[in-house]
């Protein structure tokens, strides 16, 4: 029935009533007192026993009673006394098991004493000794993993959690091991591994909405958006009022990349706002959703509502700044991004302000912002990329290459940085480096017309006109009405003797330019 309070009261009353009727041993009396949380009486009885019978098992019982009374330092002293006696006794099976138990509880005492590095290291030492005595002690492995986590020895913690999961640890310990290991993988940004652990935990605890949410977030991070939607949906089924699941599902729909999914995402954000109209997170997501649909004024309105609800919402200021910039109101954009930076100075916000300065023609201020962003977060790729573009446009190609390389170091999938570096290398006649970069971009973005156009220029520099003509034809197959590409292909075809085709390309380029000017 789990009425533990009533059980304690009943046992204590029975013990008091039977005094003189039933002869209880001192150990039985101490155990009853301890169970009933009469810790002082339990300790008093066990103190007397250890004076008359100074055995290791008695010291261990006394130490456990002291632990329950939160007298950890005294408990540690008693456990050490017990271990000292065990070390000088016969090393039978029972003695080894009792030593292991003492070491385990001694480790717990160290953990209770605080989160200082030394405390956890001492606990790890004792838990390791316990493990050496009993290789199947999953509780010792589990607690050692907790200690390793506290001192940031994450790989060692991962190893111990792995061992716990291989042993017959029971459902509760396994559940906690999956969760804790998943959290470590998340901290290490190893989201694929975190995903597997959170998913296993969610399958064990089928009604835990937070585990469904964590699993869905890992799927989202891994760009497996349909699976993310499935787990967000599971979370909503468990708790229809769990608003972050609606928001997560909406953000996953946004990544589908087509209009119907964007409209479905809008419905998710509106559902969250229906349950809580002042939920700023949902309001901001709705603002970005409307921005993606080209509904800038509506997006601006929702960002404004978010600011009115929470005047300290720097994300709402940032969103409104972006929309204002798209609406051509540079002054409003700079005011809002300044407000965001004043509340929370982040590399992202400084970089966005740099972009606004560029739109205002203030490249020096833009570069100042990008450099400030890099100083604040030396791993923020976009700041390096934008600064590299400024160097590029000022024909400072060596500096541009350095910055594009740094951008790629922290974001290897930035194809724009790779292509811009390829162009800069071409200008500086570093042809081998340029060739490698162009090949990398073509492999990752085979349907991007711009990369074929720029590689064609690279081939022209090498006088490899046949390859250039091939790339320009590919570019036109992807983007048929580009006058610039027709013009360059005309020049290339002229070089390789295809005069009629060159003339046709020139004429097509002229037609497209005239048509564009009329439009």
Contact 199, 214 (CB under 8 A): no
Same domain? For 439 and 498 the reply is no
Q: List the one residue out of 5, 112, 121 whose CA is nearest residue 66.
A: 112
* Residue range 451-462: mean pLDDT, rounded: 94
Tell me the average pLDDT across 405-416: 94
Q: What is the pLDDT of residues 17-57, one digit of tens each?
A: 445 444 567 777 766 766 677 777 778 777 777 777 777 77
**Owning domain of residue 472:** 458-519
Q: State the average pLDDT for the chain.
A: 87
| Last-in-domain residue among 424, 446, 468 | 446
Q: Are 376 and 408 in a shared domain?
A: yes
CA 258/CA 507 separation, integer angstroms: 36
In the prediction, which pLDDT does 21 show?
Answer: 41
- Is residue 121 included in any domain, yes or no? no
Residue 118 has pLDDT above 80, yes or no: no
For range 67-88, the mean pLDDT: 79
CA nearest neighbour of 351 among 343, 341, 361, 342: 341
Same domain, 462 and 435: no
When divided into structural domains, the chain yields a total of 2
Q: What is the mean pLDDT of residues 119-126?
A: 82
In this structure, are residues 72 and 109 in contact, taking their beta carbons and an 8 Å threshold?
Answer: yes
Residue 182 lies in a domain: no
Q: Tens digit of pLDDT for each residue in 3-26?
A: 555 454 444 554 554 454 445 677
Last residue of one domain, picked from the residues 446, 476, 496:
446
Give the residue from 418, 446, 474 where a domain finishes. 446
Looking at the fold, whether 476 and 397 belong to one and the same domain comes out as no
pLDDT confidence of residue 26: 72
Instruction: Decide if 400 is inside a domain.
Output: yes
Whether 512 maps to a domain, the answer reads yes
Higher pLDDT, 126 or 112: 126
* Residue at 134 is within a domain: no
> Do 467 and 516 fall into the same domain?
yes
CA dist., res. 267 & res. 289, Å (int): 10
- Mean pLDDT for 294-311 is 96
What is the residue whose two structure tokens read 């971009």? 441
This model's pTM is above 0.75 = no
CATH number, position 436? 1.25.40.10
Determine what percent of the chain is predicted with pLDDT higher than 70. 90
Mean predicted confidence (pLDDT) in 492-518: 85
pLDDT(119) > 80: no
What pLDDT shows up at residue 516?
67
Q: Domain check: are 374 and 410 in the same one?
A: yes
Q: Is residue 479 assigned to a domain?
A: yes
| Residues 434 and 364 occupy one common structural domain | yes
User: Distance between CA atoms of 178 and 172, rounded to whole angstroms?
Assistant: 10
CB-CB neighbours of 8 under 10 Å:
15
pLDDT confidence band for 269 (50 / 70 / 90): very high
Q: What is the pLDDT of residue 517?
A: 58
Q: Are residues 426 and 463 in the same domain?
A: no
């Amino acid at each position: 029935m789990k009425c533990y309070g009533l059980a304690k009261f009943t046992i204590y009353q029975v013990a008091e009533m039977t005094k003189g009727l039933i002869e209880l041993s001192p150990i039985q009396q101490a155990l009853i007192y301890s169970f009933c949380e009469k810790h002082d009486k339990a300790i008093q009885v066990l103190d007397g026993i250890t004076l008359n019978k100074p055995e290791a098992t008695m010291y261990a019982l006394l130490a456990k009673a002291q632990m329950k009374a939160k007298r950890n330092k005294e408990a540690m002293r008693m456990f050490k006394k017990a271990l000292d006696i065990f070390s000088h006794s016969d090393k039978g099976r029972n003695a080894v098991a009792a030593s292991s138990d003492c070491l385990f509880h001694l480790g717990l005492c160290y953990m209770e004493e605080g989160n200082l590095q030394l405390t956890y290291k001492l606990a790890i030492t004792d838990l390791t000794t316990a493990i050496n005595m009993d290789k199947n002690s999953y509780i010792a492995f589990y607690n050692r993993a907790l200690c390793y986590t506290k001192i940031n020895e994450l790989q060692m913690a991962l190893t111990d959690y792995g061992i716990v999961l291989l042993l017959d640890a029971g459902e509760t310990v396994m559940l906690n091991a999956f969760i804790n290991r998943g959290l470590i993988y998340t901290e290490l940004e190893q989201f694929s591994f975190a995903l597997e652990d959170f998913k296993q935990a969610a399958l064990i605890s089928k009604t835990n909405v937070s585990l469904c949410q964590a699993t869905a977030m890992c799927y989202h991070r891994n760009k497996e958006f349909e699976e993310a939607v499935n787990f967000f949906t599971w979370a909503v089924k468990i708790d229809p009022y769990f608003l972050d699941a609606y928001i997560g599902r909406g953000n996953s729909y946004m990544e589908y990349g087509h209009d119907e999914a964007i409209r479905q995402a809008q419905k998710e954000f509106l559902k969250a706002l229906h349950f809580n109209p002042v939920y700023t997170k949902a309001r901001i997501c709705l603002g970005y959703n409307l921005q993606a649909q080209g509904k800038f004024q509506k997006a601006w309105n929702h960002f404004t509502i978010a600011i009115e609800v929470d005047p300290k919402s720097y994300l709402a200021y940032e969103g409104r700044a972006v929309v204002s910039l798209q609406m051509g109101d540079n002054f409003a954009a700079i005011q809002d991004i300044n407000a965001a930076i004043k509340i929370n100075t982040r590399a992202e916000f400084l970089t966005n302000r740099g972009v606004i300065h560029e739109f205002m023609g203030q490249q020096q201020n833009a570069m100042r912002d990008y450099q400030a962003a890099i100083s604040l977060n030396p791993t923020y790729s976009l700041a390096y990329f934008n600064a590299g573009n400024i160097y590029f446009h000022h024909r400072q190609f060596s500096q541009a290459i350095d910055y594009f390389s740094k951008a790629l170091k922290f974001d290897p999938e930035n194809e724009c940085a790779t292509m811009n570096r390829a162009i800069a290398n071409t200008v500086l006649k570093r042809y081998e480096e340029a060739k490698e970069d162009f090949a990398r971009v073509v492999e990752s973005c085979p349907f991007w017309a711009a990369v074929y156009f720029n590689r064609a220029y690279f081939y022209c520099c090498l006088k490899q006109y046949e390859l250039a003509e091939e790339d320009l034809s590919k570019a036109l197959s992807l983007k048929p009405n580009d006058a610039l590409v027709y013009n360059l292909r005309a020049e290339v075809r002229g070089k390789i003797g295809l005069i009629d085709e060159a003339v046709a390309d020139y004429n097509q380029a002229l037609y497209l330019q005239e048509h564009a000017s009329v439009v």
